[in-house]
Structures are given as structure tokens and as C-alpha cells.
Amino acid sequence: MPSSMYDQDLDKNPANHVALSPISFLVRAARVYPDRIAIIHGARRITYRQMFERCRRLASALAAHGVGRGDTVAVFAPNVPALLEAHTGIPMTGGVICAINTRLDAPSVAFILAHSEAKVFLVDRELAPVAKLALAQMEHPPLVIGIDDALTTTGEVLGQDYEDFIAAGDPAFPIALPGDEWDAISLGYTSGTTGDPKGVVGHHRGAYLNAAGLALATEMSTRSVYLWTLPMFHCNGWTFTWAVTMLGGTHVCLRRVDPAMIYHLIATHRVSHLCAAPVVLTMLIHAPADSIRTFDHSVKIFTGGAAPPTPVIAAMEQRGFEVGHVYGLTEVYGPLTVCVWQEGLEAMSVPDRARFLSRQGVPHPLADDAQVMDAQMNIVAHDAATLGELMLRGNTVMKGYLKNPRATQAAFAGGWFHSGDLGVMHPDSYVEIKDRSKDIIVSGGENISSLEVEEVLYRHPMVMEAAVVAEDDEKWGEVPHAFVTLRPGFHHPGVEAPSEAGIIAFCRDNMARFKVPKRVTFIDLPKTATGKIQKYELRRLLREQL
């Protein structure tokens, strides 16, 4: 293509082109709001001036131990200030943060440390037993730094103490944004349910744009107070580790999810925003009565993963929360779509509004596109009925999978990221996920959405949680099998405990007969560290025990 007159002597230069990086968010926040509280953790308060200094000390100390561009620093910790600081301090060196799932076992942690070639390993004392076992399996273990958080006395501090480590760093460590915004900033590992987990590589540009896009989509402001109910290791906390800092908001740390503590912190610190898996919403709904607090301010809670059932959304609204639904994956930095509120929703009945809010929605302002496509990668009709695979595209999609070119190529086939989720497009262009491709139940040639069956199960007054998977059947090929967790304290005078037959009868009254579960198992549902129900474990139970 021939150059235009606008290309003549109009090249990029330091005055008109700066690499996008969330490092700049903390630089600005410390400049504009130096004395504002950046982090609350128990009785501890850290201002933006102090956070900036501590991150620079961390970067300096890491650089002194050889961490530079493209080097991995792993962190194994709950939602504590050190993990939040690591999200900026590590990239300041040119290094890559790898926040590890705190519920992983030692072999999994050892695999991640080895696969990522981590040079330094930051470990919270509570996780020391697992970390020690993981390190013992390594031929060349990384430098270990122990986090001695004041809110726990469990475990031991491994290696050098984190506070001593950063104290030796230079508070004036020179800040340099990456030379290329395509440089890696984060490494997150998928669940690995069918083999070794894949390492998802994120870049500075994507982290910057996703954080800014979500801040816009969730209506955050400089006065926002964000409660860390979502694990920071999960997609870098959906990039809210950077989004809150971008605006000069306040981070409220939380070591573990506890409904009573969540209600207390919301009321005490006037929390405005939080994110959580649907299971946390369920915990808040069914929290003991003496722990539930009411609020006189707006509290927005955003949930992702499987669509929250309509009764859950309705119950959360009754608790005083404004529920928002987002959709994404590790490969797209967390949420890429948001169920954007539309005028007139407030006039709808609660059930109708909840059904709308359970959609996955539209791309956030700084994402590019999300489309449902058929097997030939043609966009399906926007008729709320035609099923296809959800495809994603834009600047907030990963670089690819670390050391796995085959998986990267497959994920990007046709110029789109293949999500593996099946859904429909509504006439208003909102996406609605119907199921994971592997979770669709094919019974007698008919497709049954497990999410649709679960939606009905959640309407049962005694059901707290439900999951539906396929069970082999000689006649139909597959049939739905429901796993149900009952509400605590369901024994009421004159009310019988729900039975398998009763649950099946309830479903028969509320859905097409071919979709009704053929069997029901009462169980405490297995979950991942981020609260997602582990359907592969339920399938294993069917194979091995049922």
C-alpha cells in the first residue's frame, strides 16, 4: 500500500507514543493522591505514596537478584497487600508475575514453578507446607521470599522475610515502562482438568486496556472502594488489581471468603464494588441471620462463570446488592463481556429483570468483538435460538500459551479466539451462554443445556446449589443427572426433606419432559478455588460410584 501524505515525516517518537502499561496507573495515583488510602488490610493502612515506594523497593530488590525482562516471579498467597504490590512491582523490573492458585497441591505448584522457570518465589506463611513439598520436587528451586502476614500465625516464614527483602530495595528505583507494550506482564495457568495446565501469557497492552475497560463498564470512580472477595490469582483479579489503582480507589484486602466478614467490611468501609463467583453470592444469601448487615449506599457485585440462576440474582437484590454479570476466561484477562444495564429494566418484575441480567452481554468498551459462530465460522442468526460457539477478538486477548504453539494455533484458528462455550445471540446482540461444548447433553438426538436444567433446579425452595451433567443411557445415549446441595436448616415443622422423586417431579412441572433429570444425587458440590463447580469431578463420580 503506497504511503499517504500523513505518513511523511510523521513517525512515532517519545512525545507522541508511550507503551501502554498498568505500571503508569500507580505512578499517576501516587502523584495525584499521595495521601489517599490505597490499601486496607485489617488494622493496616497503606497510602498511595507508600504503595508506590514499596513497589519500587520490591522492583529494586528483585532486580538485584537478577530479575529482568521476561523473567518470571511466582507468588503463592491469598489476597494480601504483598500480592497486590507484586502486580506492579514485578512488572517494574520487566518481569512477569505468575500468581498461583492457592488451592493447588504440591505437584501442581512444582509443575508451574518449573514450567514458568520462576526465578523468585514469594510464599505466604500459611501456604508454606505445600510450598516446601513443591520446592523439594525441584532440581533447581527458585529464590524463596516468605510473606509474614499479620492476620495469620499459621505456618512458617520460608526464606527471607518479605519486609526485610523490600527494605533493602531502593525507594527511588527508576521507573521505566516496557519498550514494547506487547511484552509479557502476567502468566496464569488454566485449571488443567484434562492434563497439565496451560500457561496463559498476558501483555502490558491487554492488561492496561482490560483494566480501563472494566473500570468504565462497572462504573467505578475515584471514590470507589473495592473489596477483594475475588482471588487476585484468578486472571490477576480480573485486572481489578490495576483498575482500582488507575482511579485512585481503595483496595480492601480479604484473606479468605467469609460471609460475616464480607458484610462487616462492606458496612464498615462503605465498599462500593466487589466481584465473586456465583457460589459466593449463594453464601451471602444463606449467611447466618446475625451476620447479615444492611447498607445505606450502593453496592455493586459482579459475578462471572456460569450464569447466576434467576433466584440467586433476585435474592441478592433483596439483600441490597446491585448484581452485574460478566463473562470471560483466563485467556482474555478475565471479563470481556458485560451484561450492560438498559433503560426500562428497573420497571421489570424481579424475575424478568433477573433473566435479562443472567445473559453474558456485550463486549466492554475497550474489547473488540464477541460473536456466536457455527462450525464454518459464520455468525449465527440473532434469534436467541441458533446455537454456536462464542468467539472473541481484540486487544484484550492473550499473547498465547507458553511453550505450547499447537494449543495457541488451535485457539486462534480463523482469526478469532475459540472460547469452547456454546451460546446464542439475542436480537439485541446480547450473548447468552447455553453451556460449555463439553457440557451439552445429547439425549435421543436432542441438545439439552445443563444450565437450563440447573436454572429450574435453583427455583426449588430447598435447593441451594445444583449442577447437571450427562449420564450414559442405553436407550437415549445420554440423560441429565442432577447433583444437588440442599439449603442449610431445611428441616422445618411440617416440611419433609426433599427426595429424589420430589425434585424430579418439580422439574417435570417446570420444563419439557425430555430435559428432566433421570436421577438426582444429594451432595456437597466440589468446587475450584474460584468457586466454580467441578463438573469433571461429578462425571468421575458417575463413572466410579454410581
338-343 own/partner pairs: CB under 8 Å, 24+ apart:
338/214, 338/217, 338/218, 338/362, 338/363, 338/364, 339/430, 340/217
The DSSP-derived string for 96-127 is EEEEPPTT--HHHHHHHHHHHT-SEEEEEGGG
Q: Residue 135 has which C-alpha cell? A: 520446592
The residue type of 283 is M
CATH of span 445-544:
3.30.300.30
Q: Residue 42: pLDDT above 50?
A: yes
Q: pLDDT tens, 91-121?
A: 999 999 999 989 888 988 999 999 999 999 9
- In terms of C-beta density within 10 A (0-12 exposed, 13-18 middle, 19 or more buried), how is residue 541 classed? middle
Q: Where are the domains of the chain?
A: 48-203, 258-268+281-292+304-436, 445-544
Res 512: pLDDT: 75
Res 530: pLDDT: 60
Q: pTM for the whole thing?
A: 0.84
Strand partners, 236: none
Q: Which CATH number is correct for 48-203, 3.90.1150.10, 3.30.420.40, 3.40.50.980, 1.20.1050.10?
A: 3.40.50.980
Are the C-beta atoms of residues 244 and 224 closer than 8 Å to each other? yes
Q: Residue 545: pLDDT above 60?
A: yes
SS3 category, 412: coil
Res 537: pLDDT: 85
Are the C-beta atoms of residues 331 and 199 closer than 8 Å to each other? no
Q: Residue 271 has which C-alpha cell? A: 465498599
Question: Look-up: residue for cell 456460569?
Answer: 306
Q: Residue 454: pLDDT above 60?
A: yes
Query: CA–CA separation, 189 vs 417, rounded Å?
Result: 17
Q: Residue 194: pLDDT above 50?
A: no
- CATH 1.10.10.350 corresponds to the domain 258-268+281-292+304-436: no
Mean pLDDT of 226-237: 95
* φ, ψ (nearest 5 deg) of residue 313: -60, -45
Mean pLDDT of 372-399: 95
Mean pLDDT of 49-71: 97
Mean pLDDT of 398-415: 96
- Quote the longest CA-to-CA distance of the chain: 84
Q: Residue 443 has which C-alpha cell? A: 439425549
Q: pLDDT tens, 476-510?
A: 778 899 999 998 765 455 556 789 999 999 999 98
Q: pLDDT tens, 235-251?
A: 999 999 999 999 999 99
Query: CA–CA separation, 470 vs 452, rounded Å?
Result: 13
At residue 266 the predicted structure's pLDDT band, cuts being 50, 70 and 90, is very high
Q: Residue 546: pLDDT above 60?
A: no
Q: Residue 126 has which C-alpha cell? A: 500459611
48-203 matches 258-268+281-292+304-436 in fold:
yes
